[in-house]
Each structure stands twice: as C-alpha cells, then as structure tokens.
C-alpha cells in the first residue's frame, strides 16, 4: 500500500500575541496537487515553512513517505526531496541568477553546468531568463521565474509553491500549469498556495482551508465554485465592485516623448513613451515582467531623475528632474512592487514605516524641538490598520512580521490615507486574498470617484479589466496606444504584449 507523500498531525506554532498554526493536520498523496487556501494571516506560509524546515513547530508530528521526520533546516528538506518557492523571494541581489541557483544545488556541479541547466529548463518550460543577469536588475516576475526554475532543478518529490502566479501573465500561467501537471503525472506532489480561486479549481484535486491558523474544511476544489470557496475561506463572498462611468477631468500626469536609456546593461531602454492620466480615471498598464515597467515607474516616482526636461509633468508643473519628496509635495503617492526593502523597512515597526512617505502629513506638524510625537504616529498607524483590516500585532509590529498580503494592505493604505491627487501603484493585489483584493480595488475606485488620477501597473489582466477605464500595454520599452477597457479583449492585449499593436491599429 502506497504511503502518503506527506502527513502532518497536530502542528502548532505560536508567536508573541498570535497563534499562527493550531493543531493543523494535513495529508498529501503522491502525484496530488493539493491547495492550501485561506485569507491573509491564516497561517498558510508559516505551515509551508515548517514543512520546508525554515521554521520549527512548537508541537506536532510530520511524516514523509511514511517515515517520521524532524526537518531542522531547508538543506535537510531538499535532501529529502522537498523544494519550495517562497512568496517573498530568497535571492541575493548582488549575485547573478546562476549563482543564486547554484547555492541550492549539488556543489559537484560547476557554475557553467548550472547556467546551462537553467537555460535548458527555462527553454523547456517557457520561463525565459538569462543566467548571467544580476538579480537586482530583474523585475518581480523575472525573480519568480528564477525561484521556480531553482525548485524544478532539484527534481523534487514535494514541491511547495507560495503564490507562484502572482506576477505571471496569463500566457506564463498556462505554461506553468502544463509544467505542474506534467510533474504531478510523474508522481511529484504539489502543495499550492494561491488566492486565485479559478486557478485552484482548474489545477488542484484536493484543498485544505485554514482560518485563524486552524483547519476549517477539506474539499475537492473542482467540485466547488468561486463563491463557495470564498465562503469557506473568509466566511462570505467578496463584495462586488461598482465601476460607474464618469467624465474625467484635466490631466494630472502627462508624459510626452520620453526617451530614457537603461542605467545598466540588463535594463530596458524607454522609447517614445506617451501617456496621460486625468483626474477621475484609472489608466492601467499591462505587460510581461521585464519590458520596462521598472524603468517607467522609477522615472514617474522620481527615483530616476534623468528624464529630459518637459517630458514628465504633473498638471502644469514640470517634474522631470524632481526627486520623490518634491513630487509627493505636489500630490503624488506611489506604491512599489517590492514590499520589503522599498515599500517598507523590514525591521521597523508599522508606525515608523509611515515616515518613509508621510513626512509632510505626519512628521513636520508633530516635531517639537526635534522630537517626534510617537503617540500621534502610532495612532495614525492604528487608524490605517483598522481602516484596511490589516492583521498585525499593533502599530509597533515590525513590517517583516506581517504576512505578505497584510503588509500590502498596510502599504497601499498608507498611501491612500494621504489623499493623493495622483496615485501610482504597481501590482496592487500581489499575494492578497480575495476579500482584501476586493477591498484594495474598491479603495482604488473610491479614489478615482473622488477625483484622483490613478495609474495601475499590473500583470493581472482580470484586475486591470475590473478597475481601469483605459488600458495600455508596455513591450520592449514602448507603450501601445490606449484603448477603452470596455472595448479591449484579453486576446488583443496578449498580442500587444509581444509588441504587435502596429498591425492591429
């Protein structure tokens, strides 16, 4: 009789102020694709890290292929045949793709052999990546490809995927699903965490639901609907968004004929970029990761001030050479795609993280002889926590202690709370559960209805169609013409992602 690939019994893990996992039991069979579903902060990632040996449980037992195991670290997990793709990437920024992958593989292989294996695996599975590129030059979608390829190269018996498609295009998701189905047919078991319910229903043949760290249900997702899965996960269906047509006002952001050479050899040249975002509208930019999104966002936020004079204006003000603080003073607030490191300082509490972008609204009025009034700062952070339903152990909780989805809610909430006149957000619902995603998208539409100009950069086409009034596509550092979201199709945008819009316009 075949043993289950993985058996968890009574797994418990508690931190100060929160129980992440409480008496969790889970069984995964050989060749099974098993979803773990739950809202942000339900304990999914903690459970996966326990299986992978990155976290030690307080209680409980784990069996792998029928044998009791006590995995002390990820190296022991990999030796058993367990690999994991984390939601927050474990990559060294200053090392190349090949060097990062090499760290987790048999050291009898040379770096050249690893590079060739990466290229072969990338070609086999349609996950295009250059092994020689430094990681700091990659976009988040490209980093995710590196993590997936690194896991596949270990030939795992159990593959853990934490939000693997959060920044992949629909075409890339289809290719990944073919890979996963092939792995499962060869006997590899897959633990799959995703907030995209349609993906779980299409890919997985078993599902365990967590709520508040406890198992609240087990089902076959193929026999469920999105609505029933939502109810199991968050206790209710997510609210329906109300996207009403309205007449936009004057342009709040105008980019004219922007040409910007790449800053490094692996970057993308921006060529002839033209766009405008008007008060009371949402403009969405779609595209495959690594086609110039990073460079465009740096130029718009002020992190890259090399834009030619007159090429970027907020209203009538030329901001081409202005730094981020000067643009914030004019009403621009920005949410980057990288949560930890750019969106938030991991070791700082949420209250102090407000000071990264809210100095004008919070710090200056409350300076007294050079001292910050920390009580006022904490109160402001607490209001954002409550308004956006952030699960955190108070305003002093370090940013790194939050789940990915809850940190995203806080960062988005921090910038929305500033009441911007121009709001730019990249990957707004990356790794966020269906309820929180609906809340963030609703907040974006509320900003738009209040007269804010909103620019959304996302690789989730469903999200763009849901919140945007107009759409453009970025490919090879160039922008397509804009098209009304109501008139666009997924097929059209998919073709445009290859830069083929001239033939269709």
Residue 355 to residue 450: CA distance in whole angstroms: 25
Q: To 10 degrees, what angle do helices 140-153 and 170-185 make? A: 10
Max CA pair span of the chain? 74
**Hey, is 475 helix, strand or coil?**
strand
Determine which helix (DSSP H) or strand (DSSP E) holds 120, and give its type and residue range.
helix 111-125
Q: Which pLDDT score, from 0 to 100, does residue 459 have?
A: 83
> Does 6-234 match 248-331+423-428+452-505 in CATH topology?
yes
Q: Burial level of 373, CB count in 10 A (0-12/13-18/19+)?
A: middle
Q: Burial level of 348, CB count in 10 A (0-12/13-18/19+)?
A: middle
For 11, phi then psi, to 5°, come to -70, 125
DSSP 303-357: S---SPTTSEEETTEE-TT--HHHHHHTTEEEE-S-TBTTTB-TTSBHHHHGGGT
Residue 438 to residue 110: CA distance in whole angstroms: 47
For 444, phi then psi, to 5°, come to -65, -45
- The dihedral over CA atoms of 290, 295, 296, 299, expressed in degrees to the nearest 10, equals 170
Residue 272 to residue 479: CA distance in whole angstroms: 8
Q: Which pLDDT score, from 0 to 100, does residue 136 have?
A: 87
Residue 147 to residue 176: CA distance in whole angstroms: 13
Residue 255 to residue 342: CA distance in whole angstroms: 24
Q: Which pLDDT score, from 0 to 100, does residue 183 have?
A: 87
Sorted by where each begins, the domain ranges of the chain are 6-234, 248-331+423-428+452-505, 338-419
Q: Which pLDDT score, from 0 to 100, does residue 126 have?
A: 73
166 to each of 10, 109, 432, how far by Cα in Å? Answer: 30, 31, 9
59 to each of 49, 77, 90, 336, how far by Cα in Å? Answer: 14, 18, 26, 38
Q: Which pLDDT score, from 0 to 100, does residue 362 have?
A: 46
CATH 3.40.50.300 correct for 248-331+423-428+452-505: yes
- Beta strand pairing call for 59-64 and 332-335: unpaired
Q: To 10 degrees, what angle do helices 140-153 and 111-125 make? A: 110
Per-residue pLDDT of the chain (505 residues; tens, 9 = 90+): 478 999 999 999 998 878 999 999 999 999 999 999 988 888 998 999 999 999 999 999 999 999 999 999 998 999 999 999 887 778 898 899 999 999 877 778 899 999 999 999 888 777 778 999 999 888 777 888 898 888 889 889 999 998 887 666 666 778 788 888 988 998 999 999 988 888 899 999 999 999 889 998 899 998 998 888 888 887 777 677 777 888 999 999 999 999 999 988 878 999 999 999 999 999 999 998 889 999 999 999 999 999 999 999 999 999 999 999 999 999 999 999 888 888 999 999 999 999 888 764 444 444 444 577 788 889 999 999 999 889 888 999 999 988 878 899 999 999 999 999 999 999 998 777 787 888 889 999 999 999 999 999 998 888 899 999 999 999 999 999 999 999 999 888 888 988 878 755 5
Q: Which pLDDT score, from 0 to 100, does residue 233 have?
A: 81
**Highest CATH level, class, for 6-234:** alpha beta
């Amino acid at each position: 009789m075949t043993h289950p690939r993985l058996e968890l019994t009574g797994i418990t893990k508690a931190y100060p102020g929160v129980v992440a996992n409480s008496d969790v039991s889970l069984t995964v069979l050989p060749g099974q694709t098993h979803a773990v579903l739950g809202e942000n902060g339900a304990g999914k990632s903690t459970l996966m890290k326990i299986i992978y040996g990155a976290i030690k449980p307080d209680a409980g037992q784990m069996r792998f292929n029928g044998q009791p195991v006590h995995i002390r670290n990820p190296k022991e997990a990999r030796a058993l045949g367990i690999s994991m793709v984390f939601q927050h990437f474990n990559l060294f920024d200053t090392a190349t793709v090949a060097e990062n992958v090499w760290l987790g593989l048999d050291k009898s292989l040379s770096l050249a052999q690893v590079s060739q294996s990466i290229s072969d695996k990338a070609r086999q599975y349609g996950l295009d990546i250059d092994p020689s590129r430094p990681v700091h030059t990659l976009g988040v979608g490209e980093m995710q490809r590196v993590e997936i390829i690194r896991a596949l190269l270990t030939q795992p018996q159990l593959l853990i995927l934490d939000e693997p498609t959060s920044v992949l295009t629909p075409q890339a998701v289809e290719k990944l699903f073919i890979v996963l189905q092939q792995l499962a047919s060869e006997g590899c078991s897959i633990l799959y965490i995703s907030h995209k319910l349609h993906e779980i229903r299409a890919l997985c043949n078993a599902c365990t639901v967590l709520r508040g760290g406890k198992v609240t249900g087990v089902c076959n997702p193929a026999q469920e609907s999105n609505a029933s899965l939502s109810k199991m996960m968050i206790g209710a269906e997510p609210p329906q968004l109300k996207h009403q047509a309205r007449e936009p006002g004057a342009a709040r952001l105008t980019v004219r004929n922007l040409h910007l050479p790449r800053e490094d050899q692996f970057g993308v040249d921006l060529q002839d970029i033209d766009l405008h975002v008007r008060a009371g509208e949402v403009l969405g930019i779609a595209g495959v990761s690594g086609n110039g999104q990073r460079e465009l966002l740096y130029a718009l936020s002020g992190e890259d001030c090399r834009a030619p004079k007159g090429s970027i204006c907020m209203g009538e003000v030329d901001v081409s050479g202005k730094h981020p603080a000067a643009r914030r003073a004019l009403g621009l607030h920005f949410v980057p795609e990288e949560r930890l490191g750019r969106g938030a300082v991991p070791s700082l509490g949420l209250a102090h993280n407000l000071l990264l972008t809210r100095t004008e609204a919070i710090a200056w009025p409350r300076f007294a002889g050079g001292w910050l009034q920390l009580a006022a700062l904490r109160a402001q952070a607490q209001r954002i926590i409550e308004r956006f339903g952030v699960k955190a152990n108070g305003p002093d909780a370090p940013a790194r202690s939050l789940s990915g989805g809850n940190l995203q809610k806080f960062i988005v909430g921090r910038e929305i709370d500033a009441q911007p006149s121009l709001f730019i957000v990249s990957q707004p619902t990356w790794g966020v559960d269906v309820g929180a995603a609906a809340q963030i998208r609703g907040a974006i539409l509320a900003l738009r209805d209040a007269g804010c100009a909103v620019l959304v950069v996302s690789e989730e086409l469903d999200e763009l169609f849901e919140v945007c009034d107009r759409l453009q596509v970025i490919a090879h550092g160039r922008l397509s013409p804009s098209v009304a979201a109501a008139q666009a199709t997924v097929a059209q945008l998919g073709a445009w992602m290859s830069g083929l819009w001239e033939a269709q316009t």
